[in-house]
Amino acid sequence: MATTADGPNDGDAAEAAADATPVAGPPQAADRPDDSLAAAGAAAGPASDAGTPTEAGPLPAPREPEATTPDASAPPAGAAAPDAAAVAVVPAGSPGGGAPPGWDPTAWRRYQVRRERARSGPWSAAPPDWSEAARPAAPAPPSTAVLVCAGAAGLAAALFLGDGVGPGLLLAALPAVAAAYAAARTAGRTARPWTLFWALGCTALLAVPVLRDAAWPATVALLAAVLAGALALHGSRTWAGVLLSPVGLTDGAVNGVRWAWAALRSRSTGVDRDRWLPVLKAAGVAAGLLLLFGALFASADAAFADLLGGLVPDVTIGDGPLRLALFLLATALALAAARTAAAPFRWDRIRTTVGKPRSRVEWALPLVVLAVLFAGFNAVQLAVLFGGYDKVLASTGLTYAEYARQGFWQLLWATLLTLAVIALALRWAPRGGAADRRLVRAVLGTLCALTLVVVASALRRMDLYVDAYGLTRLRVSVAAMELWLGSVIVLIMTAGLFGARLLPRAVAGSAVAAALAFGLLSPDAVVAEKNADRFRATGKIDLAYFQSLSADAVPALDRLPEPHRSCALRGIAEELAEQGRAPWYGTSLGVHRARRILDERPVTARAAACSRLGTFSGRSG
């Protein structure tokens, strides 16, 4: 996935439905290519193959021939626009992409798309303008290296992912990365620093399921890996690019298989047997020798047989459909990544309109009032949560823990809504000069600073709540979300001081880093460790909750005294026993450590003792 948006396709025309069928019949008044519309297009400048759609009118002007380079397809100087009836009956398959003489083919196709959209109304099936601008040129056929790497990714997935998720995930992902890299190099694209950052982030996120057993942080990591991989393949820089890059992977998944199949069909007619037949023969002989002597050595030595059995995947006829599905899925995903790397959508070409600037009073007054409200609320929070304002708590009749539980979710929503308010305020901010810029920075900077106090207050409330009732998966998740929102606010404040050019990529990078840190910290282990510390301090523990944790929690729960240790580990041990032992490539590090601990110190407490401690009852807090 080591690619960037920089490459030979950056100046290419945005393709706009080249095979769109022209609308039969004479053009209507709204889209008739008369001389006045042609003159309006000519005033905007000649059409260009490089590609920005003409905005001066619904029909682009005919391309004037250059004096030094005569063009047989262009009309002589002073030629008028084509007749409307002749334009309507030009066949789509004629030379020049269906364009009448004197018209640029790319601009003509755009005109046909606009006519189809105007004719179909709001339910038009024609591609929208932003899709026309972002659509890349057709990629070159995939190289042999791309096809081999895609096949290797499918084979690795079929062999290593059928028994579980572990190191086999990386073994299947690395050939897909190599396929994308080979496709990018063939297309002439080069790696840039941000591309390397996204590629390394994607690879690191794919390592989270290898290290952790818990499914929920692994799911977050895989979703973040999709975002990082899409950004590495597209090289997007703008907000539109960051948000739409995963959509480009969907297009690659749809067209990647077709792209590879067309290449295989074209090559099948001209296969150089003298070149490939010796290679296939040598591979077959090597495989036969490995099978023969491997079987002999395995039967001669039990230790070697055990080692060989652990290294070689155990493939049976019963799991054939599953492994076939994994092969097809992984091959399709590798081809999707490779095709996207060869011809990525140019999402950065999409230009969003800026809102109408408001006057200073109209824009600033609501924000100033909101900032005053934030300041008053934060003053109370500082007094209650950090200054021990006992009078407020006595008047409400609430404890610190109940007070904290009462408002955390409201403060989380307040943080999210504040980010939305800031985005809308930037859209309609006054832009009259330096004074307006200083006003915007002062007002929004103050609001961001006050929002950071709200974030700190929410985290403080969560800390008090955890001290009273213990840590859970939900609580650690929302606390992590609040921390990330606080980091986004800090990035917005930094962009206000130093410019917002890097803000979209910085926010996406912070999301990738947060997902990676969340997975590497092992939330289940953090939950178990925090509750074990609470038990040692207060003697309170909820053994029923531990039954739902993953194997990542075993090292922390192993330090509890008996019989609490055995009761806490009872559910995890039973789940691992039901799963059975998977080979090394299908076992995460968390499961491996948990099995080793339970093998050395098995669960010993009886069910009756655990029942008296509340292991099988509902949660107590």
Over residues 399-446, the pLDDT tens digits come to 666 666 666 778 888 888 999 999 899 889 998 888 998 999 999 999
Residue 207 has pLDDT above 70, yes or no: yes
Residue 170 has pLDDT above 60, yes or no: yes
Q: Which two tokens stand for residue 50?
A: 């490089």
Q: Whole-model pTM above 0.75?
A: no
- Using only C-alpha atoms, what is the Rg of the chain? 32
467 band by pLDDT with thresholds 50, 70 and 90:
confident
Task: Name the residue among 158, 153, 150 with its Cα closest to residue 586.
Answer: 158
Residue 104 has pLDDT above 80, yes or no: no
> Which pLDDT belongs to residue 132?
67
* Rounded CA separation 196/4 (Å): 9
> Which pLDDT belongs to residue 395?
65
Task: Name the residue among 32, 35, 20 with its Cα closest to residue 98.
Answer: 20
92 band by pLDDT with thresholds 50, 70 and 90:
very low
> Which pLDDT belongs to residue 86?
41
Helix locations, 387-433, DSSP H = 390-396, 400-427
Per-position DSSP letters for 542-566, written without gaps between them:
-HHHHTT--GGGHHHHTTSPTTHHH
Distances (CA, A) of 386 to 255, 457, 460, 464, 469: 58, 9, 9, 11, 20
Residue-averaged pLDDT of the chain:
77
Cis peptide before 26 (omega within 30 of 0): no
| 468 vs 525, more confident | 525
| 9 vs 528, more confident | 528
461: number of CA atoms within 13 Å, CB side? Answer: 22
Q: At what angle do helices 360-381 and 400-427 cross, to 10 degrees?
A: 170
| 115 vs 486, more confident | 486
Q: Which two tokens stand for residue 552?
A: 């990542």
- Indicate the SS3 state at residue 161: coil
> Which pLDDT belongs to residue 321?
87
Contact call for residues 122 and 70 (beta carbons, < 8 A): no
- Summarised one tens digit per residue, pLDDT across range 233-259 is 998 889 988 998 998 888 888 888 999
> Which pLDDT belongs to residue 313?
66
Distances (CA, A) of 86 to 54, 73, 98: 22, 16, 12
Q: Which two tokens stand for residue 378?
A: 């934060």
Cα distance between the two ends of the chain: 47
Task: Name the residue among 621, 618, 615, 591 with its Cα closest to residue 475.
Answer: 621
379 band by pLDDT with thresholds 50, 70 and 90:
confident
* Rounded CA separation 280/270 (Å): 17
Whose tokens are 């909101």? That residue is: 370
Residues 6 or more apart whose CB falls under 8 angstroms from that of 610 comprise: 543, 563, 566, 567, 570, 616
- Summarised one tens digit per residue, pLDDT across range 38-66 is 333 333 333 333 333 333 334 444 444 44
Residue type, 372: V
Residue type, 603: V
331 band by pLDDT with thresholds 50, 70 and 90:
very high
Sequence spans of domains, the chain: 144-192+235-349, 524-612
Residue 542 has pLDDT above 70, yes or no: yes
> Which pLDDT belongs to residue 82?
45
Residue 229 has pLDDT above 90, yes or no: yes
- Rounded percentage of the chain residues whose pLDDT exceeds 70: 68
Q: What is the mean pLDDT of residues 515-519?
A: 95
Residue 288 burial (C-beta neighbours within 10 Å; 0-12, 13-18, 19+) = exposed
**What DSSP designation does 31 have?**
T
Contact call for residues 348 and 501 (beta carbons, < 8 A): no
618 band by pLDDT with thresholds 50, 70 and 90:
low
Residue 607 has pLDDT above 50, yes or no: yes
Residue 143 has pLDDT above 70, yes or no: yes
Task: Name the residue among 114, 112, 64 with its Cα closest to residue 88.
Answer: 112
3-state secondary structure 462-519: HHHHHHHHCCCHHHHHHHHHHHHHHHHHHHHHHHHHHCCCCHHHHHHHHHHHHHHHHH
Residues 6 or more apart whose CB falls under 8 angstroms from that of 305 comprise: 297, 298, 299
Residue type, 188: G
